[in-house]
């Protein structure tokens, strides 16, 4: 700080938003002589860690700016051959040439069928600025339903099941404990609060304070590392078996202890809806609304009959409607749960019976059912217990049942969106005082919440599977997948043919710094599915996907050079604080000038849209998205603006007279009233915990399967209304030879694979025992004859293998092998990353049976054999 010399002509700090992962923490950057030299958090903002705290990889972010491997001019592949290990023979070309070629191709494809253009992005701000805008940018090209949006860096491992349930229950993208008030947290394979997931450092700060307050954290996870290693109690569990333990705990709560939050269940869930013998809702013929039974008046009524008090909704009753026997679906749950004993769950999950019972008992004892708390003058139910999951436990072929079982525990004690309970990310976004943009969830069909924002199609109202499908994602059939898995599925061609997808064989991919070839599953399946496309990517480096199949690579600016005014405006439900904290919304201010000829991809997008002739349509979509009604600020047809110029208008719309102050400050903050934090209690919505729609979906799907003669294996029994136990595909593939389950997890140091190229992160990764290594339980290693430092091979049943360096751990389940993150990289364009770590993704088989039939989540554990050379 003090060693200044005459050569220093500038030394200042600029507020911006971190772009190293998707959390968007507040960041301030020290700029000396026009160069970023240090990054920390912003003390005045709660977006992120304590005080000016920021995680290591965030602090290391400045290396994105300084990396000499960054591309500085557009690159054109001159070798027509594509594939792994093929030299693309890059040639530098001018921007004009690149953009002209891209738009000419696009126009030609659009004249035929716009669905042949695929879009994709990386949930990694390092190069992606406003990652949410890409979804509706695609719409400007006439591509509906996100069916042609292929999953990028966050990969299929991400939250198809978690997002679906988060959306249905909380109107939110994801869930977290209400750290400020909770006392007892169950984490199922999730690292929320210990480094990963949404709002990672916000959660970490809140969790750390909670832990100091005496909060107990029990982590069910195959390994005791990031989450388990910091927990009050780590419980080793087999991957994909959380459902079993969850159901056993639910059974304990409901049938053994019988201590449930009856008022909550009557008031806020659909467990009071009447069902027939076949499990479907009994609906009013006229209004099609589900019916309930009024205990007080002993009468069947509409579920939203205003005459009923919450206490009147019957959870248990035998009634008859128009001659048909019916009962509240809660009764079905009660019966259904009885078979899930702790002994049964223990056999499946390997968690000892006593542990299951201890945890279940702790849960009920801590739930304080019936208690209330008054915050800021308002009284709410107080349920200081929370059960959360994310990528880990939901990433299985039984994913939807995993998340539903984990959620059920909270539901039964009423610990949902109340102080101390399980929270969704904010579902509400209030106007900035004096500004305009506001997002509020709605109450939809059957009283279920419709989220105010959702990145892909809304989880509610649901659409039953239909056919023929119109896009390569076949989202008409897989109507619950947040983003479709089909483009990556090995039998993609067969599926598309059977489901009547015509003339959508993708011809072009437009991506933003995505490494989709190597970060999903079976590399060769992905290569087969995409190698014939014309692949355009905007990125700061040439990554593995680019080297294998990229045609034109456009040099993007890194986040430190971006003017991404939009970065957080609508990310309240993605990056905001899930607990009781004020609103904080950040801008990504540029701290340095773009490197070489690099251009922010948003400007490239606008340019391409203009050339292709869809810019006006995109302007309309933007006006609509931000609900801009002020004519002066609206984006008009015929205007050609830069992303910054668009920002000037949108920001004025959003922040009114405070626009400039906020731009300068780099963030906006205003009070979040307590009723917006715990919004559910005052909103007449009901959680669709009884997923009745799946019964109808099953019927629809089975009909399509029958009609089309579709013969691929799909476990249709999963289409059931209540969480149930299904063996994950990986477990079914275990045998004497392939005797272990490999799984992967997120490392606090890494965001997908982009951080592997950061030398500051690289050197600390080397000092972290589990980051570049393959971990296995010490006892297992002894049995197999492995020791620390050995090179071992993992091989799946389909002959795909990967090697790596052994690091033994005590805190790892003896039946599993762990690999963190997305290592095993080989692109020449990223020399720091090259060769580091091992790649887990390639080991995941990608047949349809390895996917959750409902959400499209890939099975993220895999049966492997392990051996030394």
Partner 1 sequence: MPRWGMVIDVKRCIACWGCTIACKEEHFLPPGVFFNRVLIGESGKFPSSSKLIYPILCNHCTDAACVEACPTGATYVREDGIVAVDDDKCVGCRACLVACPYQQRTYYDQKTKDREYFPGQGKTEMELLGEKLYPLKVGTVIKCNFCSERVDAGLKRGLIPGKDDDATPACVNACPVGARIFGDLDDPDSEVNHLIMEKKGKQLRKEFGTEPAVYYID
Partner 2 sequence: MKELNELEKIMFRSSGNGLKPYEWMVLPTRQQQWIDDKGIFLWLAFFFSEIGAGLYFVSMFYEYKAGLILGWLITLVLGGFIHVLYLGKPMRAWRMIMKPQTSELSRGIWIIGIYAVFGFLQMVTGSFNIVLNTISGILCLLIISHGFATMNVVRALPAWSSTMVLPLSIVSGIWVGQQVLQFMVAVSGSAAMASGMEIWAETFFFAYFLCVLLYAWGTYHSDDIGKASIVMQATDDELKKITWIGVGGLGIVLPLLFTLIMWGGDTNGVLIFLRLACVFAGDLALRYVIMKSALYKPLLTRQ
Name the segment binding partner 2 (CB under 8 A); options: 123-131, 634-642, 661-669, 804-812: 804-812
Query: Which residues, other chains included, contact 513 with Cβ-Cβ below 8 Å and sequence gap of 6+?
Result: 121, 122, 124, 126, 127, 128, 153, 537, 538, 539, 540, 543, 556, 754
Q: Does 124 bind partner 1 (CB under 8 A)?
A: no
Q: Nearest distance from residue 45's CB to partner 2, in Å?
A: 33
How far is the C-alpha of 392 from the C-alpha of 744, rounded, in Å?
Answer: 8
How far is the C-alpha of 516 from the C-alpha of 497, rounded, in Å?
Answer: 24
Between 699 and 834, name the residue whose CB sits nearer to partner 2.
834
Between 41 and 435, name the residue whose CB sits nearer to partner 1.
41
Which SS3 state, helix, strand or coil, does residue 820 take? Answer: strand
- Considering only residues 567-596, where is the footprint of partner 1 by CB under 8 A? none
Question: Which of the choices partner 2, partner 1, none does residue 503 contact, using the CB cut-off of 5 to 8 A by kind?
Answer: none
| 794 Rama class: left (phi>0) / alpha (psi -120 to 50) / beta | beta
How far is the C-alpha of 63 from the C-alpha of 55, rounded, in Å?
Answer: 15
Between 250 and 820, name the residue whose CB sits nearer to partner 2.
820
- Considering only residues 60-79, where is the footprint of partner 1 by CB under 8 A? 60, 62-63, 66-69
DSSP string, 175-212: EEE-TTT-SEEEEES--BTTTBSTTHHHHHHHHHHHHH
Question: Which of the choices partner 1, partner 2, none does residue 487 contact, using the CB cut-off of 5 to 8 A by kind?
Answer: none
Q: Nearest distance from residue 162's CB to partner 2, in Å?
A: 31
Q: Does 69 bind partner 2 (CB under 8 A)?
A: no
Among 47, 59, 140, 536, binds partner 1 (CB under 8 A): 59
Alpha-carbon distances, residue 332 vs 336, 598, 864 (angstroms)? 6, 60, 39
How far is the C-alpha of 673 from the C-alpha of 516, rounded, in Å?
Answer: 41
Between 165 and 518, name the residue whose CB sits nearer to partner 2.
518
Between 57 and 659, name the residue whose CB sits nearer to partner 1.
57
Q: Does 815 bind partner 1 (CB under 8 A)?
A: no
Query: Which residues, other chains included, contact 756 with Cβ-Cβ below 8 Å and sequence gap of 6+?
Result: 750, 762, 765, 821, 822, 823, 825, 830, 832, 833, 836, 837
Alpha-carbon distances, residue 155 vs 150, 268, 519, 822, 841 (angstroms)? 9, 33, 6, 10, 9
Q: Is residue 1 within 8 Å of residue 40, measured between CB atoms?
A: no
Q: Nearest distance from residue 274's CB to partner 1, in Å?
A: 45
Q: Does 788 bind partner 1 (CB under 8 A)?
A: no
How far is the C-alpha of 177 from the C-alpha of 24, rounded, in Å?
Answer: 19
Q: Does 216 bind partner 1 (CB under 8 A)?
A: no
Q: Does 1 bind partner 1 (CB under 8 A)?
A: yes
Between 6 and 278, name the residue whose CB sits nearer to partner 1.
6
The gap from C-alpha 711 to its chain's centroid, in whole angstroms, comes to 31
Between 226 and 425, name the residue whose CB sits nearer to partner 1.
226
How far is the C-alpha of 719 from the C-alpha of 716, rounded, in Å?
Answer: 6
Residue 156 in tokens: 């299929």
Q: Nearest distance from residue 37's CB to partner 1, in Å?
A: 6
Q: Nearest distance from residue 862's CB to partner 2, in Å?
A: 21
**Phi and psi, residue 851, nearest 5°:** -115, 150
- Considering only residues 19-58, where is the footprint of partner 1 by CB under 8 A? 32-33, 35-41, 43, 48-58
Name the segment binding partner 1 (CB under 8 A); options: 91-99, 207-215, 330-338, 481-489: 207-215
Q: Nearest distance from residue 773's CB to partner 2, in Å?
A: 8
**Phi and psi, residue 741, nearest 5°:** -105, 120
Question: Which of the choices partner 2, partner 1, none does residue 825 contact, using the CB cut-off of 5 to 8 A by kind?
Answer: none
How far is the C-alpha of 509 from the C-alpha of 532, rounded, in Å?
Answer: 10
Q: Does 759 bind partner 2 (CB under 8 A)?
A: no
Q: Does 665 bind partner 2 (CB under 8 A)?
A: no
Q: Does 834 bind partner 2 (CB under 8 A)?
A: yes
Q: Does 768 bind partner 2 (CB under 8 A)?
A: yes
Q: Which residue has the tokens 């019966």?
A: 335
Residue 707 in tokens: 């009609």
Q: Does 205 bind partner 1 (CB under 8 A)?
A: yes
Q: Nearest distance from residue 540's CB to partner 1, in Å?
A: 14
Between 48 and 506, name the residue whose CB sits nearer to partner 1.
48
Question: Which of the choices partner 1, partner 2, none does residue 154 contact, using the CB cut-off of 5 to 8 A by kind?
Answer: none
How many residues touch partner 1 under the rule CB under 8 A: the total is 75
Between 470 and 773, name the residue whose CB sits nearer to partner 2.
773
Question: Which of the choices partner 2, partner 1, none does residue 633 contact, using the CB cut-off of 5 to 8 A by kind?
Answer: none
Beta-sheet pairing, 324-328 with 319-321: antiparallel
Name the segment binding partner 1 (CB under 8 A); options: 379-387, 619-627, 759-767, 782-790: 759-767
Q: Nearest distance from residue 664's CB to partner 1, in Å?
A: 20
Between 134 and 809, name the residue whose CB sits nearer to partner 1.
809
Q: Does 811 bind partner 2 (CB under 8 A)?
A: no
Q: Nearest distance from residue 247's CB to partner 1, in Å?
A: 22
Question: Which of the choices partner 1, partner 2, none does residue 66 contact, using the CB cut-off of 5 to 8 A by kind?
Answer: partner 1
Asked whether the CA dihedral 542, 547, 549, 553 is positive or negative, the reply is positive
Which SS3 state, helix, strand or coil, does residue 545 take? Answer: helix
Q: Nearest distance from residue 532's CB to partner 1, in Å?
A: 35
156-194: burial string, b at 16+ Cβ within 10 Å, e else: bbbbbbbbbbbbbbbbbbbbbbbbbbbbbbbbbbbbbbb
- Considering only residues 818-857, where is the footprint of partner 1 by CB under 8 A? 831-832
Q: Nearest distance from residue 216's CB to partner 1, in Å?
A: 13
Among 552, 694, 760, 843, binds partner 1 (CB under 8 A): 760
Question: Which of the choices partner 1, partner 2, none does residue 593 contact, using the CB cut-off of 5 to 8 A by kind?
Answer: none
Report the run of H or E that residue 808 belongs to, with start and end. Answer: strand 801-809
Between 443 and 805, name the residue whose CB sits nearer to partner 2.
805
Question: Which of the choices partner 1, partner 2, none does residue 836 contact, using the CB cut-off of 5 to 8 A by kind?
Answer: partner 2
How many residues touch partner 2 under the rule CB under 8 A: the total is 16
Q: Nearest distance from residue 763's CB to partner 2, in Å?
A: 7
How far is the C-alpha of 255 from the C-alpha of 193, rounded, in Å?
Answer: 32
Q: Does 693 bind partner 1 (CB under 8 A)?
A: no
Name the segment binding partner 2 (CB under 8 A); options: 483-491, 498-506, 744-752, 833-841: 833-841
How far is the C-alpha of 62 from the C-alpha of 42, rounded, in Å?
Answer: 16
Between 453 and 780, name the residue whose CB sits nearer to partner 1.
780
Question: Which of the choices partner 1, partner 2, none does residue 804 contact, using the CB cut-off of 5 to 8 A by kind?
Answer: partner 2
Nearest to 391 by CA among 53, 866, 22: 22
Does the N-terminal peptide bond of residue 210 adopt cis geometry, omega within 30 degrees of 0? no
Residue 366 in tokens: 């801590």
Question: Which of the choices partner 2, partner 1, none does residue 627 contact, using the CB cut-off of 5 to 8 A by kind?
Answer: none
Q: Does 803 bind partner 2 (CB under 8 A)?
A: yes
Query: Which residues, other chains included, contact 25 with Cβ-Cβ below 8 Å and sequence gap of 6+?
Result: 17, 18, 41, 47, 48, 49, 54, 55, 58, 200, 201, 202
Between 142 and 769, name the residue whose CB sits nearer to partner 2.
769
- Considering only residues 226-265, where is the footprint of partner 1 by CB under 8 A? 226, 228-230, 234, 236
Q: Is residue 446 within 8 Å of residue 816, measured between CB atoms?
A: no
Report the run of H or E that residue 391 belongs to, with start and end. Answer: helix 391-394
Residue 597 in tokens: 């000829």
How far is the C-alpha of 742 from the C-alpha of 843, rounded, in Å?
Answer: 9
Residues that bind partner 2 (CB under 8 A): 763, 766-769, 772, 789, 791, 803-805, 807, 834-837
């Amino acid at each position: 700080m003090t060693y200044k010399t005459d050569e220093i002509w500038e030394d200042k700090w600029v507020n911006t938003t971190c772009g190293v992962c998707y959390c968007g923490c507040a960041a301030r950057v020290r700029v000396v002589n026009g160069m970023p030299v240090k990054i920390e958090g912003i003390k005045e903002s709660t977006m992120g860690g304590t005080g000016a705290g920021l995680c290591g990889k965030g602090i290391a972010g400045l290396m994105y700016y300084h990396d000499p491997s960054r591309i500085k001019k557009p690159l054109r592949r001159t070798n027509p051959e594509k594939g792994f290990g093929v030299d693309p023979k890059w040639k530098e070309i001018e921007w004009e040439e690149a953009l002209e070629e891209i738009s000419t191709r696009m126009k030609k494809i659009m004249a035929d069928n716009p669905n042949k253009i695929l879009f994709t992005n990386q949930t990694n701000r390092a190069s992606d600025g406003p990652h949410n805008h890409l979804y509706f940018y695609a719409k400007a090209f006439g591509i509906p339903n996100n069916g042609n949006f292929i999953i990028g860096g966050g990969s299929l491992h991400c939250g198809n099941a978690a997002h679906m349930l988060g959306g249905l229950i909380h109107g939110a993208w994801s869930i977290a404990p209400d750290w400020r008030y909770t006392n007892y947290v169950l984490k199922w394979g999730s690292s929320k609060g210990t480094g990963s997931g949404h709002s990672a450092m916000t959660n970490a700060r809140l969790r750390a304070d909670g832990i100091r307050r005496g909060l107990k954290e029990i982590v069910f996870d195959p390994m005791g590392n990031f989450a388990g290693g910091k927990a009050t109690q780590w419980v080793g569990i087999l991957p994909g078996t959380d459902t079993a333990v969850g159901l056993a705990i639910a059974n304990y709560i409901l049938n053994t202890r019988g201590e449930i939050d009856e008022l909550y269940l009557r008031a806020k869930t659909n467990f009071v809806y009447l069902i027939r013998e076949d499990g479907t809702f009994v609906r009013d013929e006229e209004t099609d609304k589900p019916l309930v039974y009024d205990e007080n008046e002993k009468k069947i009524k509409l579920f939203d009959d205003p005459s009923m008090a919450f206490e009147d909704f019957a959870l248990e009753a035998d009634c008859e409607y128009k001659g048909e026997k019916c009962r509240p679906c809660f009764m079905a749950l009660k019966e259904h749960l009885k078979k899930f004993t702790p002994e049964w769950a223990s056999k499946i999950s390997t968690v000892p019976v006593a542990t299951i019972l201890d945890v279940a008992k702790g849960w009920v004892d801590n739930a304080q059912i019936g208690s209330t708390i008054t915050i800021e003058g308002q009284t709410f139910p107080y349920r200081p217990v929370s059960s959360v999951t994310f990528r880990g436990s939901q990433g299985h072929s039984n994913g939807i049942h995993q998340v539903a079982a984990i959620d059920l525990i909270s539901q039964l004690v009423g610990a949902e969106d109340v102080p101390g309970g399980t929270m969704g990310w904010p579902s509400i976004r209030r106007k900035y005082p004096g500004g305009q943009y506001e997002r509020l969830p709605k109450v939809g069909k059957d009283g279920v919440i419709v989220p105010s924002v959702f990145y892909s199609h809304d989880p509610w109202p649901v659409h039953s599977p239909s056919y023929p499908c119109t896009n390569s994602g076949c989202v008409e059939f897989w109507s619950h997948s947040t983003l479709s898995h089909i483009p990556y599925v090995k039998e993609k061609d067969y599926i598309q043919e059977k489901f009547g997808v015509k003339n959508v064989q993708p011809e072009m991919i437009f991506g933003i710094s995505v490494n989709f070839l190597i970060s999903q599953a079976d590399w060769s399946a992905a290569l087969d599915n995409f190698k014939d496309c014309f692949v355009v990517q905007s990125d700061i480096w040439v990554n593995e996907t680019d080297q294998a199949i990229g045609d034109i690579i456009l040099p993007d600016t890194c986040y430190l050079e971006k003017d991404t005014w939009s970065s957080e405006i609508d990310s309240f439900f993605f990056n905001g604080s899930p607990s009781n904290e004020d609103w904080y919304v950040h801008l990504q201010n540029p701290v340095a000038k773009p490197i070489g000829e690099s251009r922010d991809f948003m400007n490239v997008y606008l340019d391409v849209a203009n050339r292709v002739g869809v810019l006006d349509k995109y302007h309309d979509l933007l006006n609509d998205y931000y609900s801009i009604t002020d004519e002066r600020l609206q984006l008009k047809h015929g205007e050609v603006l830069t992303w910054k110029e668009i920002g000037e208008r949108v920001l004025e719309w959003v922040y009114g007279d405070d626009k400039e102050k906020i731009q300068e400050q780099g963030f906006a903050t205003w009070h979040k009233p307590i009723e917006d934090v715990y919004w559910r209690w005052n909103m007449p919505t009901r959680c669709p915990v009884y997923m009745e729609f799946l019964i109808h979906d099953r019927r629809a799907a089975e009909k399509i399967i029958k009609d089309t003669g579709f013969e691929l294996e799909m476990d249709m029994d999963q289409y059931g209304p209540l969480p149930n136990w299904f063996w994950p595909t990986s477990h079914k593939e275990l045998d004497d030879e392939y005797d272990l389950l490999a799984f992967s997890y997120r490392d606090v140091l890494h965001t997908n694979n982009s951080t592997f190229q950061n030398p500051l992160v690289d050197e600390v990764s080397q000092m972290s025992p589990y980051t570049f290594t393959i971990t296995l339980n010490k006892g297992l290693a002894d049995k197999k004859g492995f020791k620390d430092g050995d090179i071992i091979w993992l091989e799946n049943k389909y002959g795909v293998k990967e090697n790596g360096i052994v690091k033994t751990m005590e805190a790892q389940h003896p039946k599993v092998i762990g690999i963190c993150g997305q290592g095993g990289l080989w692109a020449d364009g990223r020399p720091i990353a090259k060769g580091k770590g091992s790649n887990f993704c390639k080991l995941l088989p990608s047949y349809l049976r390895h996917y959750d039939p409902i959400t499209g989540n890939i099975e993220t554990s895999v049966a492997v054999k392990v051996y030394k050379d």
